[in-house]
A and B are shown apart, each in its own frame.
Chain A
Amino acid sequence: MKAVELENVVKRFGNIVALRGITLTVEEGESIALLGPNGAGKTTVVKLIAGLLKPSRGTVRVFGEVPWKNYGVRKRIGVVSHNTFLYEDLTAYENLLFYCRLYDAEEGRIDELLEFFGLKGRKHDLVRGFSRGMKQRLSIARALLHDPPLLILDEPTTGLDIEGRRELLELLTEVGEEKTVIFTTHDVREVEGICGRVAIIKDGRVVYCGVVEEDLEELYMRAIYEGA
């Protein structure tokens, strides 16, 4: 079954055309990386999949449902972004409890996830006092509360130092097993080991989509600068 289907999707913001007819499918259980330079349209694609945006033209389906219309299908999607979606004036536990209730998830998952992400000791501390790395780990816990089969990772390592980035990628690789993963980044080195297939986006179009059998960095440069 297809987890995600984008068919000839066009997205306009006023006079700006962010996506110019993107067609992409992601099979259930597959991991795909959306690569591209800043402003290529990667985040717009994930926002359409997450139901945050409506396409101007074309169709977006997640597990056969239209995500911006069907609120129920959002229970099957987890999003980790550079924006953590956390409330700074709530504690780690309160943040997770709030999202837990929004997603009708089991409250027992909270302690389990806090333990897994090494945040149990900071359970009752305000998120305001957390480091960037801790916030990002809590954000992953938030995204996994409802155990979604589709995990969207939208440049999750932004703002982290090298060690934090490595730790986070290891965690994401671990939690992404047995899930459909869509990972967007402009750093091709982050993709290795996480995704089996890549789609390279440039100026709102997919310029390459397939399994990588050669040097990814070389392929990326060729796709971006030569369009093939």
Chain B
Amino acid sequence: MKALEVAKKDLRIEFRTKGTLNLMILFALVTSMMFSVSIPMSVAERVAPSLMWLVFLFVGMLGYGRAFLREAETGTLEGLKMAPISPVSVLVGKVLYNIVLMLLMEAIVLPIFVGLFDLSVSKPLLMLLSVTLGNVGFVVVVSSLSILVIKSKTREMLLPILIFPVVFPVITSTIVAIRMSISGDISGIVSPLSLICGFAILMFVVSCLTFEHAFTD
């Protein structure tokens, strides 16, 4: 329940200031447009899944880490650390907040991306599921790793360096699943989707087990 309070508080601040969400959506739209004008339509269908994920990756890196960075910058992180709330509840709250941001961004960016590349998606629901699952795994990783870099002066650079190797299995599996759902050949889609789900669960469990050490002291 306290995790929900943390998420609600963050969402209230975000909807009031719109600092992170506006930045994420703007960045996603600009990169999508740049990709769409520079990539020939003949190869669009082949490269679109990778480009789509690239957009989400950059935007996620920019936005999801902010959940903890903002608390550290404003000094409110210490208030959370002193409160009678377990570090895991704080992490769950931040993950929930980031998932809401992610869903909002997906709802805005995904149709625009599909439209810009003139993609005819054979299995739209499966594509939505693949993107969402991949993003959930990504959100879990960014949310839990961002606490490690908040004390660093080079945190904006350090976060992607830490994240890329960890999320690599999610990236490749999501790209495969998106490609399958666009082409309509979904015979082997269970395998990448299972990998994405397994990875998200594994990362969440590992984060819960290790987060206390990163959060305290």
Contact = CB atoms under 8 A, between A and B. Distances in A.
A98 to B, nearest CB: 5
The interface residues of chain A, by DSSP majority, are classed as loop
B85 A102 contact: yes
A74 B13 contact: no
Given A74-B84, A102-B2, A103-B84, A85 B216 contact: no
Interface of B: 2, 5, 9, 12-13, 16-17, 74-76, 78-86, 216-217
Nearest to A77: B82
A50 B79 CA distance: 10
Contact of A94 (B12, B85, B86, B217): B12
A130 interface: no
A27 interface: no
B179 to A, nearest CB: 41
A141 to B, nearest CB: 13
A52 B17 CA distance: 29
Contacts of A81: 78
B16 A71 contact: no
A223 interface: no
Nearest to B13: A89
Contacts of B16: 89-90
A88 interface: yes
Given A90-B12, A101-B5, A71 B85 contact: yes
Interface string A56-93: 00000000000010011111010101011111111000
Interface residues of A, number: 29
A17 B75 CA distance: 24
Contacts of A84: 75
A68 B85 contact: no
A81 B76 CA distance: 12
Contacts of B9: 87, 90, 94, 98
Contacts of B17: 89
Contact of B13 (A52, A68, A72, A87): A87
27 contacts: A50-B82, A51-B81, A52-B81, A52-B82, A53-B216, A54-B216, A74-B83, A74-B84, A75-B84, A77-B82, A83-B78, A83-B79, A84-B75, A85-B78, A85-B82, A87-B74, A89-B16, A90-B16, A94-B9, A94-B12, A99-B79, A99-B83, A102-B5, A102-B83, A102-B84, A102-B85, A104-B84
B84 A71 contact: yes
